[in-house]
Every structure is written in structure tokens, then in C-alpha cells.
Structure 1
Amino acid sequence: MTGNSSRLQLDNATLAMFQNFKTSTVISAIYMVVTVINLVGNGLSIWLLVFRTSPKTPSIIFMINLTLTDLALGSALPFQISYQLQGYNWTLGSKMCSFLTLVFYTNMYCSILTMMAIGIDRYLGIVKPMVFRKNKRRKSIAVISCLLMWGLVLGVLYPLMTTDLTYHIPELGITTCFDVLKMSMLPSVAAWAAFLFTLVFILFLLPFCVTTFCYVSVIYKLSSDCKTIQKGRAIRLAVVVLVVYAVCFAPNNILLLTHSVLRLFYNKSMYMAYKLSLCFSCLNSCLDPFIYYFASKDFRQKLRQIMNLHTLSSMDTIRLENKETLYSG
């Protein structure tokens, strides 16, 4: 994201990146690997979650929502790969550019919000079980929450839908997609500040803090009154979720804020680093199936059956049914 409104302001670092074939090849290779793992892992996950897992608890509903966003990203990445391999030359028109950019960023922020929702659901099931049991409308609340997430993210990203995100660079003979944003996308610097604040602090930092609180509380609760198998699985789930935040989401959002501030106020750029961080943000779609494995007993059992692995022993099954019923759905 550059925030440029004219070719004369296109910085040298961005121009150099467009001519760096080695960087575009590395990015394309990463996207290829992510695409394969994404489509295979999430294709299997959506089949298990939709057709083989019952009942559809709130956690399962949130996981289905997360899987759908991941599959949308996996379907969009081949277009990004083609764009990179053609030397940042977009040939599919402005509307397709806007749509695929929207898919890209919707995946990121819907994933962040959905993982927060899964964390809250587990927190209520383990730390506040009485409140959890009394709520008879949990499924409806989960569905409404998913719809609100999509509404919030699409509302914030609305400028991407209404702006021509392509940008022609005559001196290089290419037309970029989203790599050069026009200042005119938003009416003022204040609007840009509000846009970036919402992305970084409302859609990333706040959910991160809530998710961290939920999982730390869950681990603390289980460490005092639960057996090792439940505590170990909860810790592994918390580690996977926090790794996704730390590796996939944090660098991208921090660099987004830093780069945008530098471009808007100091005419400097960190675009190369930001571009590379976008690759790592896509890795979340490969790690999400691990979240399902540790968060859902049904998902684990169905996956083991498909992979022809031994199911849990009868003693473990009884223990899980007694201990995990409130929070493993």
C-alpha cells in the first residue's frame, strides 16, 4: 500500500520491487505452497465440519465460518500467483482486482474475529460453565455473530470495493493491482487515519487481547481442576492460536501501520517488508485446521477415522465425555 496519487510520487523502493524478479518468484512460490495446503486441508475440514460433525455447536459454526473464508482465499491465490509471475502486471480488469483484494483482506480480518469468537466460546464453557449452560440460544448467537463479523469487516473494507485499485506505470509497461493505492481512495488524511486505526486496533489488536485473555484464563482454570490430557490439549490449542497471531497477523498489521504513516507523513516506504508480510498472513489458512483438531472432539475423532488411525481408548473417551462436553464442541 503506497498511498500515491500520481506517478511522480511513486517512490524508488516500490519501483525497484516491481522490477525485482527474484522477490516476485519467492512470493509466488510461497503462495503456491499455501494454495495447495489450503485447498487440501480446508477442503477436508469443511467436509468433516459440515457433513460428518454433529451436533452443530457454536464452536463448529465458528469453525465452518473460518474454513469458508480460508477456502475463498485459497481460490483467490492462483490469480495473485499469476500476477506476480507476470511481473506485477494485472490483466483481468479493475473489478476483478477489487474483488480479489477484498477476498484477501476479508480472510485476514474475519479469521482474526472468528478465532476470537472460538476463544470466547471456550472461555465461557470452561471458566463460566453455569453461564454457558443457561444460554439456550448459543447456536443462534453464533450464526448472528458470524454475520456481524462479515458485516463489520466488509463495512470497514468498503473503500476497496468502490475504488479502482489498478494503477498503470508507463515507464515499466505494467498495470499493478492494489500495490499502488491512490490518496483519492479516501477523502482526507483524517479518513486514512481512521481507516488504518480501525484495521490495526479494532480488527487486530483488540481481538488479539481478548483471545489471549480467554486462552490464558482457560489454561489457568484447567491447571487447577482438570487432568493432564485436557490441560495439554488446551495449551496446544492456545499455542497454535497465538502462533497464528504472532506469525501471520501481527507483522502484517504492524508493518501496515508503520508503512502507511511513513508514506502519508514522511514520504518514506517499507513496502517491500509489507509485501513479504502479506505472504505470511496467508499461512493462517494452513494452520487453521490444527485449531479445529485441538478445539473439537468430534473433528478429532472423524479425522482419525478417515486416516485409519486408532480411535481414543475407551477410558480416554469416557474421560473426554465427562470433562470436555462443555467446551470441546
Structure 2
Amino acid sequence: MTNASSRIPLDNATLSLFQNAKISIVISVIYMIVTAINLLGNGLSMWLLLFRTSPKTPSIIFMLNLTLTDLALGSALPFQIYYQLKGYHWTLGSNMCSFMTLVFYTNMYCSVLTMMAIGIDRYLGIVRPMMFRQTQKRKSIAVISCFLMWGVVLGVLYPLMTTDLTYDIPELKIITCFDVLKKSMLPSDFAWALFLSGLVFILFFFPFCVTTFCYVSVIRKLAKDSKTVQKKRAIRLAIIVLLVFVICFAPNNILLLIHSILRLFYDKSVYMAYKLSLCFSCLNSCLDPFIYYFASKDFRQKLRAIIRMPSLSSGDSMKMEQKETLFSGQ
């Protein structure tokens, strides 16, 4: 994002990015790979979660929510690829630009909040098993939580829905989509500070802290007993979730904050680094099916059956699977 009024000249870093064909091709190739993996992995996940996984526990409901946002991103990325290959020239109109931008950022922040919800559910199931034991009540809470997540994300992103996000750059003969964001989108620097704080702290930093606490607590709880199968699986799940935060979400949100502060107050830019980090943030949609594999016993069994992998059959594994089904919401 480069904050500019309607005709303030763009900074050299942004203009350089728009003229860098190699970077545009690299970003396009990454998006192509992500799109293919996203649609294949999440398409299979959606089918398994909807039609092959029962009962629909809270964790499964959260996974369905996450898969839905991932598939929306996978469906939107081809438009971004087309835009990149056209040399940052958007030809589909301002409404479509706003819609695709909203899909892009909704995926990121709904994914963050949903992974936090999955972590909380596992924390309650393993560390606090006596809380929310009534299955129906937990299902209702999960469904309401999903609606609340969407409400919070769309509330914070509301300025993107009410602004023309296209920007005409006559000197390059291109019209960008969300790559140049007018400072006039919000009425004051204070409003910009609130907007950025909502993105970085409410939708990223706070969920990251809660998720880390939940998984660390789960690992500490399981480390006290000898149930190594569940412990190893919980550790793998925690590692994958935290890697998604650290690799996919953290660089983008940190660079967003740095870049916006530099543009608002110092007329400087780290836009190329931010653009690349935004590209890599999409990798979360490729890693989410691995989260489902380690978080859901039923999903794991159905996937193993499809790809003809042998199921675990030791006595200890069966006992651990039974306990996981009872307490962790699958």
C-alpha cells in the first residue's frame, strides 16, 4: 500500500516495482503454484469435512470455515495473476478490484482468527476438559464464533469496501488495484492509526499470542503423561500452526505497519518487501490441510483411506485416538 492523495507523485520504490518485470513474473509464478495446491488440497479437504467426517464437532466447524476462506482465495488468485502479468494494469473495474481485495485480506485474517479458535478448542478439550463438555452447546458456540470472526474482520476492513481502490498512473499507462492506496481513504492520521492498529494488533498480534499460549499449554499438559502418540501429534500440529503464523502472517503484518508508518510520516517506503511478503502470506492456504490432518482424527482416517495409507493400530494408539475424540473435539 502506498498512501497518496489523488495526484501526489509516487515514490521511486513503488514506481520501480511497477517497472520490474522479473519481480512481477516471480510473484505470478508463486501465485500459480499456490492456486493449484490451494484448490486441490482444500477442495479435497472440503469434500472430506462436509461429506466424510462425522459428527460435526467444533473443530470440524472451524476447519470448514477455514477451508471456505481458502477456497475463496484460490478462486480469486487467478485474477491477481492476470493483473501481475499485465504489468500491474487492472482492467476489470473498481468494484471488482474492491471485491478481490476484500477476499484477499478476509482470507488472511479469518485464517488467523480461525486458527486461534481451533487452538482454544484443543486447549479446552485437553487442558480444561471439564469446560464446555456439552457437545451441542460447543457446536453452537463454534457456529456463533465463525459468524463473529467474519463480523470482526469485515468491520475492520470496512474502509476497503467503501473506497475506489484503483489508481491511474498516466506516466506508466497503467491502472493499479490496491497497490496505490489514497491517503484520503480515511479522514485523518488518527483514523489511519486506528485502521492499521486493527489490522496488526487486533487481527494478528492478539490471536498469535492466544494461539501460542493454547498450544504451549497443550504440549505442557501432554508432556506430563506417557501418551506419546497424542503428544507427538499435538507437537506437530503446534509447529505447523506457529510456522504458518511466523512464515505467512508475521512478515506481512510487520512490514505493513513499518511501510505505512514510513509513508504516512517520513515519505519513505519498503513497498517491494511488503509486496513479496503479501505474496508469501497466501502460502497459508496450502498448509491448512496439514492442520486438519493433525487436528482431526476422523479427517486423518478418511484421508489415509483415500490415499491407501495404513492406519495406526497399536493398542496405545487406539487409546490415544479414543481420548482425542472424547476431549479434543476431533
The TM-score by the shorter chain falls in which range? Answer: over 0.9
* Residues 26-175 of structure 1: pairs in structure 2 closer than 5 A: 26-134=26-134, 136-175=136-175
Deviation at 1:261, TM superposition (A): 0.1
Q: 1:24 is paired with a residue of what secondary structure?
A: helix
Between the aligned partners of 1:234 and 1:162, the Cα distance in structure 2 is 42
8 Å contact kept, 1:46–1:67: yes
Between the aligned partners of 1:13 and 1:68, the Cα distance in structure 2 is 35
Deviation at 1:225, TM superposition (A): 2.1
Listed as ranges, the gaps of 5+ residues in structure 1 are: none
Between the aligned partners of 2:132 and 2:210, the Cα distance in structure 1 is 18
Q: TM-score, normalised by structure 2?
A: 0.98
Report the counterpart of residue 323 of structure 2 in structure 1: 323
Q: 2:328 is paired with a residue of what secondary structure?
A: coil
8 Å contact kept, 2:70–2:285: yes
8 Å contact kept, 1:7–1:169: no
8 Å contact kept, 1:52–1:302: yes
Deviation at 1:134, TM superposition (A): 4.9
Q: 2:131 is paired with a residue of what secondary structure?
A: helix
Q: Which moved more, 1:228-237 or 1:131-140?
A: 131-140
Q: TM-score, normalised by structure 1?
A: 0.98
Q: Is 1:246 aligned to 2:246, yes or no?
A: yes
Deviation at 1:312, TM superposition (A): 2.3
Report the counterpart of residue 201 of structure 1 in structure 2: 201
Between the aligned partners of 1:233 and 1:24, the Cα distance in structure 2 is 39
* Residues 227-238 of structure 1: pairs in structure 2 closer than 5 A: 227-238=227-238
Q: 1:7 is paired with a residue of what secondary structure?
A: coil
Q: Deviations over 1:196-243 (max 9, x none)?
A: 001000110000000000000000000002411111000000000000
Q: Is 1:307 aligned to 2:312, yes or no?
A: no
Report the counterpart of residue 17 of structure 1 in structure 2: 17
Deviation at 1:135, TM superposition (A): 6.6
Q: 1:106 is paired with a residue of what secondary structure?
A: helix
Report the counterpart of residue 179 of structure 1 in structure 2: 179
Between the aligned partners of 2:204 and 2:167, the Cα distance in structure 1 is 28
Q: Deviations over 1:282-328 (max 9, x none)?
A: 00000000000000000000000010111221625531343212115
Deviation at 1:130, TM superposition (A): 0.8
8 Å contact kept, 2:25–2:84: yes
Deviation at 1:136, TM superposition (A): 4.6
Q: 1:133 is paired with a residue of what secondary structure?
A: coil
8 Å contact kept, 2:57–2:329: no
Deviation at 1:133, TM superposition (A): 1.8
Q: Between Structure 1 and Structure 2, how many residues are aligned?
A: 329
Q: Deviations over 1:12-70 (max 9, x none)?
A: 11011100000000000000000000000000000000000000000000000000000
Report the counterpart of residue 283 of structure 1 in structure 2: 283
Between the aligned partners of 1:95 and 1:198, the Cα distance in structure 2 is 24
Between the aligned partners of 2:169 and 2:295, the Cα distance in structure 1 is 48
Q: Which moved more, 1:192-201 or 1:226-235?
A: 226-235
Listed as ranges, the gaps of 5+ residues in structure 2 are: none
8 Å contact kept, 1:219–1:234: yes
Letter in 2 for 1:124: L
Q: Deviations over 1:155-183 (max 9, x none)?
A: 11011111000000011000000000001
For the aligned residues, what is the CA RMSD? 1.1
8 Å contact kept, 1:18–1:87: yes
Letter in 2 for 1:73: L
Q: Which moved more, 1:200-209 or 1:312-321?
A: 312-321
Report the counterpart of residue 273 of structure 1 in structure 2: 273
8 Å contact kept, 2:219–2:235: yes
Q: 2:133 is paired with a residue of what secondary structure?
A: helix
Q: Is 1:263 aligned to 2:247, yes or no?
A: no
Between the aligned partners of 2:9 and 2:321, the Cα distance in structure 1 is 62
8 Å contact kept, 2:227–2:316: no
Between the aligned partners of 1:316 and 1:61, the Cα distance in structure 2 is 28
Residues 322 and 52 of structure 1: CA distance in aligned 2, closer, same or farther (over 3 Å) = closer
Between the aligned partners of 1:174 and 1:135, the Cα distance in structure 2 is 54
Residues 80 and 53 of structure 1: CA distance in aligned 2, closer, same or farther (over 3 Å) = same
Q: 1:129 is paired with a residue of what secondary structure?
A: coil
Letter in 2 for 1:327: S
